[in-house]
Amino acid sequence: MKKHDRLHRLSVKLWLFLAAFLVFAFFSNDFGLVDIQKTAVILAAGIDKGEDGYTLTAHIAVPKGSDRSKGGTSSVNIKGRGDTISACISDIYADTGWVPKLVFCDLLLLGEEAVQENSFLVLDYFLRNEQMPDSCQIAVCEGSAEEMLSSASAIDDTSALAIEKLLSDAAEKTGQLTRTTLREFSIGYYGVSESGKMPYLGSKTQSGAESAQGGAQAQDASGGAQSGDEKIYEVRGSALFSQGRMVALLSPDETFAYSLLQGEVRSGTFLAHENGEAVTLYVYKNKGSVSLSLGDVPEAALEVVLRVRVADRDGATDVSDLTSSIPSDALLQDATAVITQAISSLWARIGESECDLFQLRQQLFRHHRGEYELWRERLLSVARPNISVTIRPVE
C-alpha cells in the first residue's frame, strides 16, 4: 500500500511537472513559430529572367481589416532579385521582414524570358519546397510576369485572382485553354516524353473601365501607384515545352483541337460555314482520344467525336430557322473539315517542335515496351497521323 502511495505521489509530481512545462511552453512558445501576423501569404508568384538573374514578384494578400464593406482581397506586389529563386525569396524577407509563405500560392506565372531556357531552372525551387503546393497552376505570359501581376485588373482587385478566374475549370471546358499544374508539368518533364504545355496569357488594356469589385488599388513595393488603365487578361494559346524549354506556341484553334482530342470540351464553340454564311456551333458533348499503334511505322489515331448544335448564325431567314438548332449535313461536313484542319495543323506543329504533347512516347513505353528503344528518338518525326472526326447533331 505504501509503495502504491509512493508511486501515486510520484505520478502526481510528474503530471504537475508536465503541466508546469506546458504552461511555460504556452506562454513562451518558440518552436520555430511564425504566426499569422508575421506571415506574407503569397497568392501568386511571377518569375522573370533578366541579365542580372531572376526577379520574383510575390503577389501577397493583405488583409483589409474588419471593414467588411470593401469586399474582395487587397494585395501588394513585392519584388525580390537574385541569381536563384531561393535568393529572390530571401531578398523579399530581407527587404520586408515578412516571412513569405508559399502554402497558398495557386499560380506560378513565368515571364517570356524565363521559358527561353529550361524552365526547371526556375521550377526546381518550387518542386523542392515542401510548403509549395504542386497543385498550383502554371502559365507563361507575354512580356514580363512582374508587369502582368502588377497591372490593375478590370475584373478583380487582385490581378492574381483575376488570372486564376481565367484559368478556371469552367474556362477549360470551353476548349480555349489547357490548364497545367506544377505536378502535371513536372511529370511530363521527368517522364519519358520530356514534354509539357502551359497556357499562354496576354493582356489588353481596357481604358476607363471601373474595377468590378471597386476595391483597393494594388501598389508595388515602392509604393508607386499603378497605371490608370485596367487590364483584361486573355488566353492567347498554349505554350509547348520540350525538355523544359518553350519550343512552340499553339494558336487558339490548335489549342481548341487539342482540347477536343483530350475530350475535355463541354461548352465550347467553333465557327463553320454554310453557303458562305458563318455559323457558330456549340459543342454539347465531346469524346477524344489519341492512341498509338505500331505497324511498319508508328501511327497515331487522333479521334474526335462531337455532338453539336447551332448556337448562332449570321442571319435567320424566318422564325422556324431561329427555332431549329440542328445543323444541316452541309454544315456538319464543313465543321468536320474545320476540326480536321485544326488537328492537322496541331500535328504539324508538334512534329516541328518535337514536343510530345500527346505523350506518345509514354504510350510507346507503357504499351509497346519491346519497341520503345527502337522508336523512342524518331517517334514524333516518323509517326503518321490518322485523323478521324465525327460530328453529330444534337437532335
Partner 1 sequence: MKTVSARQLCFFLAFIAPVGKLILMPSQIVFDAKQDLLFSAALSYLLQSVIVFLVLLAAKKDKTLFALLRERLGTVGARVALSLLALFLFLAALLPMLEQKLLVQSVFYDTLPSILAFAPFFLFSAYLCFHPIAHLGRMWDILMPFSAVGFAGLIALSAGAADFGALLPVGASGMGAIARGTLHSLSWFFDSALLLPLLGRIEQTKRLPLKGTLCYLAGGGAVLLVLAVFYGVFSDIALRQLFAFSRISKYFPGVAVLGRIDYFFIFALTLVMAFYCAMPLHAGVECLKQAFGDTPVRAGGYTLAVNGVMFTLSVLLNYHFLRTQTFMTHTAAWIFPLFPALLVFVLLIGRKHEKA
Partner 2 sequence: MNITGKRDQDAGAIKEILPAEDILTFDFRAAGGMDFTIVFTDPITDKELLGVLVVRPLLHYEGAATVEAVKERLTSPEVRTERDLDKLAEEVLAGNPVLLFDGADEGIIVGTKKIFFRAIAEPSTDVAVKGPREGFIEDVKINTSLVRRRLKSPELKIEFLKVGRRSATFVAMCYLEGTTPSATVEEVRSRLERIDIDVIPDSSYLTHFLVHKPYSLIKQIGTTEKPDIFCAKIAEGKLGLIVDGSPIALTLPYLAVEDLQSSEDYFVPQARASLTRILRLLAMVTAIYLPAFYIAAQLFKLQLFPIKLLLTISGSIQNIPLSPSLEMLLVLFVLEILNEASIRMPKYVGMALSVVGALVLGETAVNAGFVSTPAIIIIAFSGIGLYAVPNLIEVTSVLRLIMLLVAGSVGTYGIILVTAVLLYLLVTTENYGVPVLAPFSPLRRRDLKDSLIKFNLTALDRRPKTLKSPNKRRLS
Binding region for partner 2 (CB under 8 A): 8, 12, 22-23, 25-27, 29, 31, 33, 35-37, 39, 41, 43, 61, 63-66, 73, 101, 103-104, 106
Q: In angstroms, give the least distance from the CB of 62 to partner 2.
A: 9
Contact between 366 and partner 1 by CB under 8 A: the answer reads yes
Contact between 3 and partner 1 by CB under 8 A: the answer reads yes
| Exposure string over 167-185, b if 16+ CB within 10 A, otherwise e | beeebbbbbbbbbbbbebb
Nearer to partner 1, 93 or 282 (CB): 93
Residue ranges with strand state E in the chain: 39-50, 53-62, 74-82, 99-101, 107-111, 137-141, 152-153, 195-206, 219-220, 230-242, 245-250, 269-274, 277-294, 298-313, 384-393
Joined together, the cell numbers standing for residue 303 give: 479521334
Residues 187, 192: Cα–Cα separation, whole Å: 9
Q: Residue 395: enclosing H or E segment and its boundaries?
A: none
230 closest CA partner among 250, 254, 204: 204
Contact between 49 and partner 1 by CB under 8 A: the answer reads no
Q: In angstroms, give the least distance from the CB of 251 to partner 2.
A: 34
Residues 177, 169: Cα–Cα separation, whole Å: 10
> Binder to partner 1 among 72, 82, 191, 385 (CB under 8 A)?
191
Q: Which does 26 bind (CB under 5 to 8 A by kind): partner 2, partner 1, none?
A: partner 2
> Which range, of 66-74, 76-84, 129-137, 300-308, touches partner 1 by CB under 8 A?
129-137
Contact between 169 and partner 1 by CB under 8 A: the answer reads yes
Joined together, the cell numbers standing for residue 122 give: 526556375
Q: In angstroms, give the least distance from the CB of 67 to partner 1.
A: 24
Site size for partner 1 (CB under 8 A): 29
Residues 242, 29: Cα–Cα separation, whole Å: 49
Nearer to partner 1, 80 or 111 (CB): 80
Joined together, the cell numbers standing for residue 82 give: 537574385
Nearer to partner 2, 36 or 319 (CB): 36
Residue matched to cell numbers 475535355: 264
Q: Which residues bind partner 1 (CB under 8 A)?
A: 3, 7, 18, 30-34, 39, 99, 101, 103, 127, 130-131, 133, 135, 169, 181, 183, 186-187, 190-192, 365-367, 369
